[in-house]
């Protein structure tokens, strides 16, 4: 099988300015390294219309910023330079801070359970940077390549992009605002699909609801408790042996009957489909796919077989139109079971039992010519999930032309919003992940994907009542609103955490449903213009540098959401940085310290509905509330979009768009319709105008929609008194309303939502959780921006054991902090922990960052005897100090362990070697290192060879263990076991 190649020559040259041509529309430019590189570039998969990237337009403008490029070793390195004070955003699905200066991101879709703020890559790839200049003008930079890409933002004002040759750079702007850039981007990559209105309600999910009986119980409980919800999700366990498009005959014997039950109770049902198809003759999907030759091939031309949930699986080649049509036909038939939406998971694609977590890069795809033709997996890996979502979307579309498809995808590429919503993957039940979820949703929106949200409450681990309630308060304001939790965790439904949490969740979701007309209007605007739905608050004033790093607030159009993401702080207990202009606080008589604070920008009108339990209860004749916030000129305006909530009638005029305006003349405020559009007649309904005054105070009036409604304004002193009274009432209410109480932990129960201890000094930042084995949860090297170690809460990370058995005592016990010098200016920053590991033994660990050598992270551990019985002769049981760090592998094909052994032999241990043991003269001679050739970095681990008798390298799925073992012997007070070692990051070579 011949692979289409890149015909450009890679020649080492000094950086030169890239050549450019205007494309698409005003302000958009394409840059290439040379004419030859332009000809050699692969077709665009991100552009909605591929020809838009290839055809220049007539323009006399020149770009404001021209990048340079250099081609070295088959890599194309592109550099942009901007002035100091420039801020970077975007880069798609990324953890960590909102503002991306100082970060480096890699695009290579990866299954990343329990990711941390520094984990890269994650599940999606968006080689895109939003550049906000000091003036507030904004520019967008797109590296239009599907291949593995590095986006380096570590130097202020500098963007570095590195990927295999040849690829073009597309710039959008500079324009006057970030919204204008995103709208221009959407003209290239397309806008978000118009979601059915039910998809904007609350979604309840779990891995897994194990039977149709349990699904019905969940649905009925929502209705009995009057908690709004629209969708229940079926994870992978509904299937027969994890075979896609099948149903377990005992637990889900009649999916159509279940669907009817849910539909009759106002619920929709979304079901999971993975790409891995069980390799099993007699299984109809496998048989038909084999007959039609739709599977991804190995380099030898045989179908690739990889291990996933069902066992050995084959994988559809969605890069080929024949395969996409085959998949769509099966999806169409699947929909006939009453399926309302489909959830595409594991589509990075994830593969079990392999270090790379995915299939080999030399697998072969028979791609359509318009996508790039026959290529290796390395070319199509990042777009595999998007093309699966596209195939699924088209299958749902075939099933019923009068309904809008709804697809949720885990993996994606820039442009995937045309077919699917997304979520932020397998997050954790921690306050850090709650805080991070806001920035992650905003970054996706800034990268062209407005329909996203996190697993509310966290997927991995057990949320506490306060954490869950707080997360629901914020999550109810996200564009996509779904609660989801992992197998073997506690129940995570809104009623699972006690009455106080349940009440907050009910209020949060009631808010969302009252604001659904506003959400739906925002999505219509996003679908038609490319504007974001949720945006950072600096969108209100891009010139204001104070707003650029605010991470606990966001905008929904003119609606400002301010949330607390700190455990012991309510939303009213910290200073809210507001953009300039008028911002008036309001609520729905539901203020609570665990709910976000709401503001409406002066000059705005938003529409609010009565509370309902599901979208199906809404009618056009319902009372409509208009929240009005006048600007300094006494004016306001707002838009309301209404249609059937599903189908495509809105494309043919069957809708109603209303522009409401308000204006103050003298002491009269007049509210009326200024412009209407669409074929629908205005319904006969009452309109309730609520005129915000500030501090939660408001005036109201009633009238009929379409008629002029007037409000008589009180005198200035009376308005001031109303505001003062309202503020005092609010303050008293919040003081008397307590935060959701935290539950008491039962003995032996492991809580994930407690705050880790942070050791942040020199070049290192560590998070340690003393209550579970003193585990080092994350280990980040600040100058390089690399998080070398990030783990699950209850396993992996940096662990230590007290005997030779895997996960023996030491890794799960609760440790006490004996001493901490992390807040004082001393010779070193240190933390000392110890835990009782049984048998009279204590495992103590001292973590140190020397101030005179900040690049060193030193760990000294000891197992010592504290209370050995007299009959034992002063000696303990057999003990072995086993240091077990689990390091993250970012680039599996470019990463290895290197060392020289005591006998002088040089070793390179690569991921395909599995587990290797070194002892005696083969032991590393006091130093070994984890080398990442893509990062040009190595993590050096030095140790005392007199304390270590054995070293083990164990490669696993996306990780590597580099273990240090002491001797195995009894311990006395005089003869403890010790291992002192240190880590340092250096450049390679």
Give the residue numbers annotated as catalytic, written as ranges.
345, 348, 426
Q: In the numeric block, which tokens belong to residue 840?
A: 């009279």
Instruction: Point out which residues pair with 856 in neighbouring strands.
Output: 984
Can you tell me the distance from the alpha carbon of 94 to that of 116, in angstroms, rounded to the nearest whole number?
A: 9
- What is the Rg, in whole angstroms, of the alpha carbon atoms belonging to the chain? 29
The Cα 646–Cα 261 span in angstroms is: 20
Residues 833/816, Cβ–Cβ less than 8 Å: yes
Of residues 394, 397, 276, the one with CA closest to residue 326: 394
Tokens representing 174 are 């500079």
- Report CA-CA distances (Å) from 93 to 78, 118, 131, 532: 22, 12, 17, 15
**Among 193, 195, 197, CA closest to 513:** 197
CA 722, chain centre distance (Å): 43
Cα separations in angstroms, 576 against 543, 639, 731, 736, 906: 18, 27, 15, 21, 58
Give the helix, strand, coil percentages of the chain, each rounded to 5.
20, 35, 45
Q: Tell me the C-alpha distance between 318 and 294, whole Å.
A: 8
User: Are 583 and 604 in contact, with CB atoms under 8 Å apart?
Assistant: no
| Residue 24: both structure tokens together | 């698409």
Structure tokens at 909: 């241990």
- In three-state secondary structure terms, 469 is helix
What residue spans of 412-464 are helical by DSSP H? Answer: 431-446
CA-wise closest residue to 785 among 134, 91, 164: 91
415 neighbors 47 (Cβ within 8 angstroms)? yes
Distance CA(671)–CA(600), nearest Å, equals 17
CA dist 631 to 580, 596, 673, Å? 11, 23, 18
d(CA 425, CA 880): 38
Is-contact 590 510, C-beta < 8 A?
Answer: yes
Q: Kind and range of the H or E element at 388?
A: helix 384-399
Number of Cα atoms under 13 Å in the Cβ half of residue 388: 31
> Closest Cα to residue 378, out of 53, 161, 144, 145?
145
Q: What angle do CA 686, 690, 694 make, to 5 degrees?
A: 175
Cβ neighbours around 369 below 10 Å, total: 9
Query: What is the three-state SS of 804-857?
Result: CCCCCCCCCCCCEEEEECCCCCCCEEEEEEEEEEECCEEEEEEEEEECCCCCEE
Asked whether 630 and 602 are in contact (CB, 8 A), the reply is yes
The two three-digit tokens of residue 727, written as one number: 């503020």
How many Å apart are CA 273 and CA 836, to the nearest integer?
A: 46
Farthest CA pair distance, the chain: 96
Asked if residue 180 has a cis previous peptide bond (ω within 30° of 0), the answer is: no
CA angle 866, 803, 947 (to 5 degrees): 80
Q: Report the candidate in 737, 464, 741, 434 with the shortest Cα–Cα distance to residue 590.
A: 737
């Amino acid at each position: 099988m011949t692979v289409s190649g890149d015909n450009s020559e890679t020649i080492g040259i000094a950086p030169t300015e890239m050549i450019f041509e205007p494309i698409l529309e005003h302000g958009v430019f394409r840059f290439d390294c040379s004419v030859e590189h332009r000809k050699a570039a692969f077709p665009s998969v991100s552009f909605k219309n591929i020809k838009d990237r290839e055809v220049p337009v007539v323009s006399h403008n020149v770009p404001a910023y021209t990048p340079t490029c250099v081609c070295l070793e088959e890599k194309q390195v592109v550099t942009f330079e901007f002035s100091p004070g420039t801020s970077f955003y975007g880069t798609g699905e990324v953890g960590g801070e909102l503002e991306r200066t100082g970060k480096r991101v890699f695009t290579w879709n990866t299954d990343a359970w329990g990711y941390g703020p520094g984990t890269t890559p994650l599940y999606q790839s968006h080689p895109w940077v939003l550049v906000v200049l000091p003036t507030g003008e904004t520019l967008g930079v797109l590296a239009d390549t599907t291949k593995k890409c590095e986006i380096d933002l570590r130097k202020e004002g500098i963007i570095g992009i590195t990927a295999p040759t040849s690829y073009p750079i597309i710039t959008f702007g500079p324009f006057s605002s970030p919204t204008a850039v995103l709208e221009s981007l959407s003209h290239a990559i397309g806008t978000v699909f118009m979601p059915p209105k039910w998809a904007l309600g609350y979604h309840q999910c779990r891995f897994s609801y194990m039977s149709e009986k349990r699904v019905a119980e969940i649905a009925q409980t929502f209705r009995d408790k009057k908690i709004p919800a629209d969708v229940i999700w079926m994870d992978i366990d509904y299937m027969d042996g994890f075979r896609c498009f099948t149903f377990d005959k005992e637990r889900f014997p009649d999916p159509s009957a279940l669907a009817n039950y849910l539909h009759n109770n106002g619920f929709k049902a979304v079901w999971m489909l993975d790409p891995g198809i069980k390799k099993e003759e007699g299984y109809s999907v496998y048989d038909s796919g084999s007959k039609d030759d739709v599977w991804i091939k190995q380099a030898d031309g045989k179908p690739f077989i990889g291990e996933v949930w069902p066992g050995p699986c084959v994988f559809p080649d969605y890069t080929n139109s024949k395969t996409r049509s085959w998949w769509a036909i099966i999806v169409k038939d699947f929909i006939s079971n009453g399926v309302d939406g489909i959830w595409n998971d594991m589509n990075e694609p994830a593969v079990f039992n392999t270090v790379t977590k995915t299939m080999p890069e030399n697998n072969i795809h028979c791609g359509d010519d318009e996508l790039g033709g026959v290529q290796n997996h390395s070319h199509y890996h990042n777009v595999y999930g998007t093309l699966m979502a596209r195939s699924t979307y088209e299958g749902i579309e075939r099933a019923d032309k009068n309904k809008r498809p709804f697809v949720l995808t885990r993996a994606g590429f820039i442009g995937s919003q045309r077919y699917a919503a997304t979520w932020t993957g397998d997050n954790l039940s921690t306050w850090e992940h709650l805080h991070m979820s806001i920035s992650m949703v905003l970054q996706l929106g800034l990268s062209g994907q407005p329909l996203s949200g996190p697993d509310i409450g966290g997927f991995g681990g057990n949320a506490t009542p306060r954490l869950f309630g707080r997360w629901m308060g914020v999550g109810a304001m996200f564009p996509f609103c779904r609660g989801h939790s992992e197998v073997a965790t506690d129940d995570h439904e809104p009623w699972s955490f006690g009455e106080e949490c349940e009440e907050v969740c009910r209020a949060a979701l009631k808010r969302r449903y009252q604001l659904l007309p506003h959400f739906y209007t925002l999505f219509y605007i996003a679908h038609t213009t490319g504007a974001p739905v949720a945006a950072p608050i600096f969108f209100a004033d891009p010139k204001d540098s104070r707003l650029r790093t605010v991470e606990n607030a966001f905008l929904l159009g003119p609606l400002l959401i301010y949330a607390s993401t700190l455990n012991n702080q309510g939303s009213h207990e910290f200073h809210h940085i507001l953009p300039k202009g008028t911002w008036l606080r309001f609520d729905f008589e539901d203020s609570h310290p665990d709910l976000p604070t709401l503001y409406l920008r002066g000059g705005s009108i938003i529409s609010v509905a009565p509370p309902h339990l599901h979208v199906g209860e809404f009618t056009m004749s319902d009372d409509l509330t208009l929240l009005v916030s006048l600007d300094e000129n006494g004016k306001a305006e707002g838009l309301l979009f209404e249609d059937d909530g599903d189908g495509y009638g809105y494309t043919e005029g069957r809708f109603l768009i209303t522009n409401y305006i308000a204006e103050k003349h003298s002491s009269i405020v007049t509210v009326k319709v200024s412009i209407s559009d669409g074929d629908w007649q205005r319904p006969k309904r009452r309109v309730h105008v609520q005129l915000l005054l500030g501090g939660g105070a408001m005036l109201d009036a009633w009238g009929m929609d379409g008629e002029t409604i007037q409000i008589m304004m009180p005198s200035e002193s009376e308005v001031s008194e109303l505001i003062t009274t309202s503020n005092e009432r609010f303050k008293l209410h919040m003081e008397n309303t307590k935060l959701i109480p935290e539950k008491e932990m039962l003995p032996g129960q492991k809580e994930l939502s407690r705050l880790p201890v942070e050791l942040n000094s020199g070049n290192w930042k560590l998070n340690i959780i003393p209550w579970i084995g003193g585990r080092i949860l994350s280990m980040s090297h600040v100058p390089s921006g690399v998080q070398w170690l990030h783990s699950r809460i209850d396993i992996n990370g940096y662990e230590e054991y007290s005997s030779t058995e895997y996960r023996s005592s030491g890794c799960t016990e609760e440790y006490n902090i004996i001493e901490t010098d992390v807040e004082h200016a001393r010779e070193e920053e240190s933390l000392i922990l110890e835990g009782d590991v049984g048998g009279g033994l204590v495992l103590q660990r001292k973590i140190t960052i020397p101030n005179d050598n900040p690049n060193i992270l030193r760990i000294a551990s000891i197992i010592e005897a504290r209370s050995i019985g007299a009959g034992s002769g002063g000696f303990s049981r057999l003990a072995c100090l086993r240091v077990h760090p689990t390091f993250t592998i970012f680039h599996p094909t470019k990463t290895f362990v290197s060392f020289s052994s005591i006998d002088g032999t040089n070793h390179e241990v690569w991921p395909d070697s599995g587990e290797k043991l070194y002892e005696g003269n083969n032991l590393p001679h006091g130093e070994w290192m984890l080398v990442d050739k893509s990062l040009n970095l190595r993590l050096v681990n030095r140790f005392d060879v007199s304390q270590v008798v054995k070293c083990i390298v164990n490669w696993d799925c996306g990780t590597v263990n580099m273990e240090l073992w002491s001797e195995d012997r009894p311990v006395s007070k005089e003869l403890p076991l010790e291992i002192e070692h240190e880590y340092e990051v250096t450049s390679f070579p």
